[in-house]
Amino acid sequence: MRRAKITIIGAGNVGATCAHWCAAAELGDIVLLDIPQAEDMPAGKALDLMQASPIMGYDSNLVGTTSYDDAKDSDVIVVTAGIPRKPGMSRDDLLGTNAKIITSVGEQIKATSPNAVVIVVSNPLDAMVQQMAKVTGFDKAKVIGQAGVLDTARYRAFLAMELGVSVEDISALLMGGHGDTMVPIPSCTSVGGIPVTQLIDTARLDEIVERTRKGGAEIVALLKTGSAYYAPAAACAQMVEAVVKDKKRVIPVAAYCDKEYGVGGFYVGVPVVMGSGGVEKIIELSLTDTETAAFKHSVDAVKELVETMDGLLSA
């Protein structure tokens, strides 16, 4: 049986760590790709990971490269390319530079891997995945943004820390844009089946939600010289697994919504069924009036971000 071919574009911390997670889980053979200016760096990281395989017991083959020829006919492509956030920067501050990078990357993907499922990680996420879909022209279901898995993981981690329980027993959902306008869905958040609202009062839950919204910025401030990469990379690996193993995972991702939730043709965070075809179904929930209003506010912020990006690219 042929192994899946997984290409990770961007061999920095997120990309290399994603390669690590994917290799350790034996999700497929992996190409770690970066720009020509990176010279031999991706090859060095791939070789290092190959040398770890006898110790950790995985058989994935890893190649580091600066040529898209090596990524030809990939089954799944994870895009981490772009400049990272620095202290004091918002995700939106990256907009103009990363939009140009995503445009270039998208053109290469279209030329070399026309059948791939593309998972975008670059920030600001919602605008970058919109641009990737536009440039590639791929089926919208096969271009997906990684945000909800990460945001929900942070939320679950903070809830577990608050309650002193296992993260495995916490089920949660966040929707909307990736960032300050993300929308918690308390009616879909439980601890061992117990509604979280029965365990944490509203004021404290709001504080945890706010910490989740600022989760990336908190790490940027602590690291001072970079941004989060372990959790974002793990979230990518979970999405890759859902595709290559056709897992039919019910997870929140940035998916293209048209009639769904009345979004009107933009990528926003919603719960989906994810399998070999990418987003195989968008799950539409009955939201409360408060949740609906918050979701609309978040979608409006995404639309504004995309309009700003389009203006920068056309200038």
Q: Write the CATH number of the domain with boundaries 148-309.
A: 3.90.110.10
* Residue 44 marked as a ligand binder: no
Q: Which pLDDT score, from 0 to 100, does residue 84 have? A: 72
122 is in an annotated binding site: yes
Reply yes or no on domain 5-145 having CATH 3.40.50.150: no
Maximum CA extent, the chain: 55
Establish whether 85 is an annotated binding residue: yes
The tokens for 34 are 């970066």
Residue ranges, the chain, pLDDT below 70: 1, 85, 89-92
Alpha-carbon distance of 190 to 197, in angstroms, equals 8
* Ramachandran sector of residue 268 (left: φ over 0; alpha: ψ -120 to 50; beta: rest): beta
pLDDT at 279: 98
CA 30/CA 37 separation, integer angstroms: 21
Collapsing DSSP states into helix, strand and coil, what is residue 113? coil
Q: What pLDDT shows up at residue 90?
A: 67
Q: Which two tokens stand for residue 187?
A: 């009616």
Tokens of 299: 């979608």
Q: Is 98 annotated as a binding residue?
A: yes
Which pLDDT score, from 0 to 100, does residue 92 have? 66
Q: Kindly list the catalytic residues.
A: 178
Angle at 301 between CA 311 and CA 126, to 5 degrees: 75
Angle, helices 230-244 vs 148-163, to 10°: value is: 120
The full set of domain ranges for the chain reads 5-145, 148-309
Q: Does the annotation place 3 within a ligand binding site?
A: no
Tell me the pTM.
0.95
